[in-house]
A and B are shown apart, each in its own frame.
Chain A
Amino acid sequence: MKVNHVSTSNYLHRLAALVFGIVVVTIAPISQASQPDPYLRPAVVPASSDNQFTQARMELGKALFFDPRLSGSKWISCATCHNPALGWSDGLPTAIGKDMKVLGRATPTILNTAYQTRQFWDGRARTLEEQALGPIVAESEMNANLDEVLERLAAIPGYVTLFEKAYSGEGITKSTLAKALANFERTVVSTESPFDRWRKGDRNAVSESAKNGFKIFTDEESGRCVLCHQGFNFTDNGFHNIGLKGNVDPGRFAQVPVKILKGAFKTPTLRDVATTAPYMHNGAFKTLEEVVEHYDRAGLDKTETLDPNMQPLKLSSQEKVDLVEFMKTLTGRPIRISLPSLPQ
């Protein structure tokens, strides 16, 4: 009887172990599958707690974004440089500002800036709200006196109504102006690209060359791109000196005087990268092929603050082609945007 009892107990233990094993084997892949793919866009666009998205705020921000009356001359708007038809940039090596003066840095796309932890090439603003007024008051850019702009807007009945709908009781102030622009900019996000469809399981969404390019891109030894271009937005939100020829711009160092930041600039997003040429903070490269060549030789100016992630890659011709093919798959359809009728 005792023997039988032990046998039954053993049997039950084995059965329990088997059931446990089956559960573990079954649940583990489900658990892994439920982890969000780090390369796919997060479901929620980050927003400031005191500036949550509303349709009224977005529409006000859009009107302001396209309105040249925000500039000192009344003929430059945010959209003059951040042109939606040019990847929310301007297609120029470096921006053109007040009085057609050529400026020192390229116009960065505003695509996916909602996901960035620092704004501007040198990261001098943390949030879009902090960033929004910078180019408006910059003497070399829109060259506006903010008090005059606010007075101008307050004298336009259409804006009085829009501001009241968007920020009831807050008035037309620097704060509501910045918040409205930021609210609109957070709607400028990348759409589903062939790369995203591939990540979601469509094997035919990208070419074999692009698939190999992604492998090289994410290899920390061969391609090394992933050391800086990480996650869904393909940026580490970090600052790197990538050895651009003849660069004298201090970049991030002017904001944070730490030696390794001399000549360092923010890692840009690679989303919609096919639409945002030319590339780099000074527009040094016209094509993605030129960009890959630059990284393959680990930069040109090997200054002492060159980012140590920059190492010669020794890629083959085919690997370079694959990398470019992959990067092109990060470009989705442009978001649909209707031009606003500006308030009168």
Chain B
Amino acid sequence: MRACLGKFWLSFLILFMMVWANLAAAGEYEIGQNRKRFTIDGKKVDVLRINVGDTVHFKNEDPFYHGIYSISDISTFELGAFRKGQSRSVIFDKAGKAEIECAVHSEMYMVIEVNDLRATKPKNTRVQAKK
């Protein structure tokens, strides 16, 4: 009986660790800069919901330069000017909202909502994590 109980707890622990590991796996997302819009799979995106620890790759798909930056409470960065085909990556390690803009083309604007995965799972269903 005792051995049986031990096996049960061991199985439970392994299962718990597997679920946790799955939840904790950092996601990767690619956001294109396409025709002066932020896009995912070619479609304009205004809001992207991710988890703390996830990485976002900003990829320039336009023939001209972009300069992506954010001046937000949770994340401040400047990615500099980068050309077509080039990509710059940012890891979002705090929960909250980050406003993303292009310094060159001021009409380019989107928001990245970073969720604390221990509190909630991401609600965005349109975006597939990049493998």
- Which residues of A are in contact with B by a Cβ distance under 8 Å? 117-118, 123, 220, 227-228, 236-240, 252, 256-261, 264, 307-309
A229 to chain B, nearest CB (A): 11
A259-B80, A260-B80, A307-B81 given; A237·B107 CB < 8 A: yes
Which residues on the B side are within 8 Å of A261 (C-beta)? Answer: 67, 103
B:59-82 near A, CB below 8 Å: 63-65, 67, 69, 71, 78, 80-81
Q: Which A residue sits closest to B102, measured CB to CB?
A: A238
B105 at the interface (CB under 8 A from A): yes
A67 to chain B, nearest CB (A): 32
> A220-B63, A261-B103 known; 12 other A-B pairs, CB under 8 Å?
A117-B106, A123-B106, A227-B63, A236-B36, A238-B105, A239-B103, A252-B103, A257-B71, A258-B78, A258-B103, A261-B67, A308-B83
B104 at the interface (CB under 8 A from A): yes
Beta-carbon contact of A118 and B106 below 8 Å = yes
Interface size on B, residues (CB 8 A): 16
Which residues on the B side are within 8 Å of A228 (C-beta)? Answer: 64
Beta-carbon contact of B106 and A239 below 8 Å = yes
Name 22 interchain pairs, CB-CB below 8 A, sorted by A: A117-B107, A118-B106, A123-B106, A220-B63, A236-B64, A237-B106, A237-B107, A238-B104, A238-B105, A239-B103, A240-B104, A252-B103, A256-B103, A258-B69, A260-B81, A260-B103, A261-B67, A264-B103, A264-B104, A307-B81, A308-B81, A308-B83
B82 to chain A, nearest CB (A): 9
Interface SS of chain B: loop
Which residues on the B side are within 8 Å of A256 (C-beta)? Answer: 103, 106
A256 to B80 CA separation, bound complex (whole angstroms): 14
Beta-carbon contact of B67 and A258 below 8 Å = yes
Beta-carbon contact of B105 and A237 below 8 Å = yes
Beta-carbon contact of B104 and A239 below 8 Å = yes
Beta-carbon contact of B106 and A260 below 8 Å = no
Which residues on the A side are within 8 Å of B107 (C-beta)? Answer: 117, 237
Which residues on the B side are within 8 Å of A309 (C-beta)? Answer: 64-65
B27 to chain A, nearest CB (A): 27
Beta-carbon contact of B106 and A238 below 8 Å = yes
